[in-house]
Structure 1
Amino acid sequence: MSVIKDQAENLRKTFSKNKTKIVLVTGGKGGVGKSIVAVNTAVNLAKLNKKVLIFDTDAGFANASILLGVTPAVSIKDYFDKKLTLEECIIKTPYGIKLLSTGMDIKDWLSFQKNFTRKAIEEFFQIAKEHDYVIIDVSAGYNENLKPFYIAADNILLVTTPEPTAIVNAYTVIKALSLLEVDGIIDVVINMIRKKSEANTAEQVLRKTIKEYLYTDIRNVFYINFDHVVHDSVKSQVPISSFKPSSNVANDLFSIAEKLENMSDTEPSKSNDNLLKKLLLLFGFYNR
């Protein structure tokens, strides 16, 4: 066997053994607390001694850095423009997680889509495989450009509120996902709950919709109660789990990370799946 074939075989073995989970966080519409859920889930997973990378792809509205209280000196744009390595574009945070951002300019997202090459994916793999979780914060609503992201995710956290408009938009996202035949596990986060009866109604509607269009059930439904602590933590640019860890809303958010971790220990990996394949799919280099 040639050296090249030897190396390829070794890489395949490495890739297939990797257990990094890709968790996609999305919402039917803006303003439902999607990024708050993404950031606090990442921080809470780190509290469970997991290595976490949060990838903020919501270009033009990338606010994970704001919620974490860090000012990125670099973004993925610098990988393309300044020829930095991807590793050099990753920001360390005070909360034990790392952040990769597409930046605050929508042009950064266009550059990202246009220039992400197979070489970049291999670099991304080398970074991702060192983490237990890659949390991807995507733009709200269904975005055709993000189709590979939905398909590649191991787990999709769909964030909504009990408000009728938010439920309708979440319903629309679910229908769109049905057309993609996603096989990632769907968990629903109902945020900003003021009346439990409203949350119960929202859950019933979404369960019925997912059964009808995706022929499956929601694995978990998480309830997050409305709390002014959230506003205060955002204003202070400190994640809720660190800003006021004893609050009810901090406990609500912690339950998401705890359940994700518990389920990852008990559920078998998807057949014929590995991290490199998922990343190739994620960035449009592989068709399922």
Structure 2
Amino acid sequence: MSVNRPVKVIAVTGGKGGVGKTNLSVNLSIALAELSRRVILLDADLGLANVDVLLGLHAKHTLADVLDGSMSLRDVMLNGPGGVKVVPASSGVQQMTHLTPQEHAALIYAFNELSDQLDILMIDTAAGISETVVSFVRAAQEVIIVVCDEPSSITDAYALIKLLNSEHGVFRFRVIANMTRTNQEGINLFNKLNGVCDRFLDASLQYLGHVPFDENVRKAVQKRQPLIEFAPRSKASAAVRVIAQKIDQWPVQASPRGHLEFFLERLVTANAGAC
């Protein structure tokens, strides 16, 4: 089955753990679903799955079952909050860079069969700059970099951008400043990252906005609920919705970059080259 309609493929990454990347992936997905978009959230942390845990979902089957051919993607997808569909990963699955051609084919077929019910594929990558992370990010159309006010966050984000830009030809990055104390802090964080990238790289960084520090985030995690449902009127939820509206206004790219097939073909190509 071929994909005849364009799909937005967005990778959320950060280079460093602890910046709130998964939380943002989850809540942005729900906020986009609130805008009547059909969203699938792919947990691409194949070594340490956490999206389903964060949402209090119980995954009987995972992407591993799709890759070995025993289940279809429809079978393993979970119904998440706000109508978002969640594709759970699982701990202990072999890294994407080691997938066999048969597993590549299974993954392509699995997503192709969902193309008629999908507007946005949101990919929550693992932390770090492993080959798996790079493969998912370079295959996506849009890359969101999450940073927070820690020196190591800026350093690691720059390292990831440098790798993707210098070695894999990724030129455009969107940046979210997370857990900020003020609006100006978010702007300053972006300016720090953008300044060093401007100086040393041929990359374009665009500031998506900031999400303020909010004690409700911790409470929502403890309750295994998405922030946007746990505290819908909180400042952080409002900020997430503003960013989601910006994402929703991004144009859907035309063929071939706008097709889900292109994402999967690039993913396969990236991993084949890494083997």
Same fold at TM > 0.5? yes
Look up the equivalent residue of 2:104 and give its one-letter code: T
Matching residue of 1:181: 169
Q: Call closer, same or farther: CA 1:63–1:215 in 2, change over 3 Å.
A: same
Q: For residues 7-48 of structure 1, what are the alpha-carbon distances to aligned partners after superposition, in whole Å with 9 as ceiling and x for unaligned?
A: xxxx6xx63x42201000101210000000100011111100
Matching residue of 2:214: 227
- Cα distance in 2, alignment partners of residues 221 and 213 from structure 1: 22
Matching residue of 1:8: none
1:71 CA displacement: 1.0
Unmatched runs of 5 consecutive residues or more in structure 1 = 1-10
Matching residue of 1:148: 135
TM-score by length of 1: 0.85
- Cα distance in 2, alignment partners of residues 221 and 209 from structure 1: 18
- Cα distance in 1, alignment partners of residues 39 and 189 from structure 2: 31
- Cα distance in 2, alignment partners of residues 271 and 196 from structure 1: 37
Matching residue of 1:78: 65
Q: Call closer, same or farther: CA 1:77–1:195 in 2, change over 3 Å.
A: same
Between stretches 137-146 and 229-238, larger displacement belongs to: 137-146
Between stretches 271-280 and 148-157, larger displacement belongs to: 271-280
Q: Is the 8 A contact 1:76 1:112 kept in 2?
A: no
- Cα distance in 1, alignment partners of residues 113 and 98 from structure 2: 18
Q: Is the 8 A contact 2:43 2:49 kept in 1?
A: yes
Q: For residues 116-159 of structure 1, what are the alpha-carbon distances to aligned partners after superposition, in whole Å with 9 as ceiling and x for unaligned?
A: 23243122222244210000111112122333322221111101
Matching residue of 1:283: 268
TM-score by length of 2: 0.88
Structure index of larger Rg: 1
1:214 CA displacement: 4.6
Where do residues 160-175 of structure 1 align in structure 2 (5 Å cutoff)? 160-175=147-162
Between stretches 129-138 and 226-235, larger displacement belongs to: 129-138
Matched, 1:106 2:92: yes
**RMSD over aligned Cα atoms:** 2.4
1:212 CA displacement: 3.7
Q: For residues 182-214 of structure 1, what are the alpha-carbon distances to aligned partners after superposition, in whole Å with 9 as ceiling and x for unaligned?
A: 14x421111111244543332111112333455
Q: Tell me the percent identity.
A: 28
Matching residue of 2:253: 269
Q: Call closer, same or farther: CA 1:120–1:201 in 2, change over 3 Å.
A: closer
Matched, 1:190 2:177: yes
Unmatched runs of 5 consecutive residues or more in structure 2 = none
Aligned to 1:269, what secondary structure does the other structure show?
coil
